[in-house]
Structure 1
Amino acid sequence: MQVSFSSDELSILKRPLGLLIEDSRVSRDILEHLLKDARLVISVGDATTERLIALGFVPDIQIVDGRERRGLRAEIKHMHKSEVRCRNPAGTVSKDAIDAIRKALTLDKPVRVYVDGEEDLLGLVVLKLAPDGSTILYGQPLEGIVLLRVDEEIKSRLKHLLSKLPI
């Protein structure tokens, strides 16, 4: 079972859903300040995960697919205790991916979720499953990193998309 989204729904997700930190401003100091109270830090995307690790932040959950802007990339430095694998076809959210993220939330951190397919839409799953107070970081292509706090406000704003997920 998998869920796909209309082009109108996808256009909502192409805009930053949280705070956009421009590439030139992403630094250890800024991230320390913004992440200090995060319950969990969850990265979605290879480039974002790699950048966080390079700056000294190891996300609690790292969701990667071995690709960057549709091209293959080198594997990210091994910075996790546990790993979970799943399949998730491009442009969808699969039950397998939902189950993998649900499992990752229960394992000893840090956890890397390896996606065979595409991880782009899996931030929605994290938003629905992660505890309030968590922070999701994902890349905004050619612009920077988006920081999204998990709380009732963002869940309410995106409820029409989140309600499509079989969770």
Structure 2
Amino acid sequence: MSSLRLDLPSSLRHELKEPLGPIYTDADALLADATEPVVAVGDIVTYHLLEAGYTPAVALVDDRTKRAAVDPEVRDAVGGFDHCWTVDNPAGTITGPLIGALSRGLGEDGTTLIRVDGEEDLAALPAVLAVPEGASVVYGQPDEGMVLVTADAAARERCRDLIGRMDGPADELLAALS
């Protein structure tokens, strides 16, 4: 699975702008509606959850937001996890190492921070498929807030569909997540 790689075709970019769930601007309100375990995708989302006193089961960060480096305050605040790993995942892709780290993090006791060398933006899609039924995935919607996705049948089907239309061995990736 280490060589597995799916690439986002330009034809799907517009569909990813549509949030997979409700948008929140308040971390406490989001956490009141979230269910365990929670996977956070993105530096700013992870920062807001930590600032609200909550450490997600798994967080994926790349030290960037909207294609620019995050502020040192955000970068320095993202910590306190039980486990920390680094994986390569180029922009616009979902790779085998990212899937492996996500699955491993969900199976660990304690919390896991996954530092992505490249980009973690698409990680919400496989995360919705990797978490247990009813669990939560939170990711950022640029200039709007945090999207809370409950891993239910509808969200999982939408993520399967989007992944299935990416360039590369989507069936192999979906099999690895099931």
Structure 2 counterparts to residues 1-167 of structure 1, below 5 A: 1-21=4-24, 23=25, 26-28=26-28, 30-35=29-34, 38-73=35-70, 74=72, 75-77=75-77, 78-163=79-164, 164=170, 166=173, 167=176
Pick the structure with more helix per residue.
2
With normalisation by structure 2, the TM-score equals 0.84
Return 5+ residue gaps in structure 2 as ranges.
Answer: 165-169
Q: In the TM superposition, what whole-angstrom CA distance separates every residue of 1:120-140 from its partner, at most 9, and x where no partner exists?
A: 001111112111111011110
| Alpha-carbon distance between aligned partners in 1 of 2:19 and 2:76, rounded to the nearest angstrom | 24
- Counterpart code for 2:11: D
- Please report the RMSD computed on the Cα atoms of aligned residues, expressed in angstroms: 1.5
Return 5+ residue gaps in structure 1 as ranges.
Answer: none
- Counterpart code for 1:67: R
Assess if the C-alpha contact under 8 Å between 2:133 and 2:151 holds in 1.
Answer: yes
- Counterpart code for 1:16: P
Deviation at 1:33, TM superposition (A): 2.2
Assess if the C-alpha contact under 8 Å between 1:41 and 1:60 holds in 2.
Answer: yes
Deviation at 1:27, TM superposition (A): 4.4
Report runs of 4+ in structure 1 exceeding 6 Å deviation: none
Deviation at 1:10, TM superposition (A): 2.2
Q: In the TM superposition, what whole-angstrom CA distance separates every residue of 1:87-109 from its partner, at most 9, and x where no partner exists?
A: 00000011111111111111122
- Counterpart code for 2:138: L
| Percent pairwise identity | 30
Number of residues of Structure 1 aligned to a counterpart in Structure 2: 161
With normalisation by structure 1, the TM-score equals 0.89
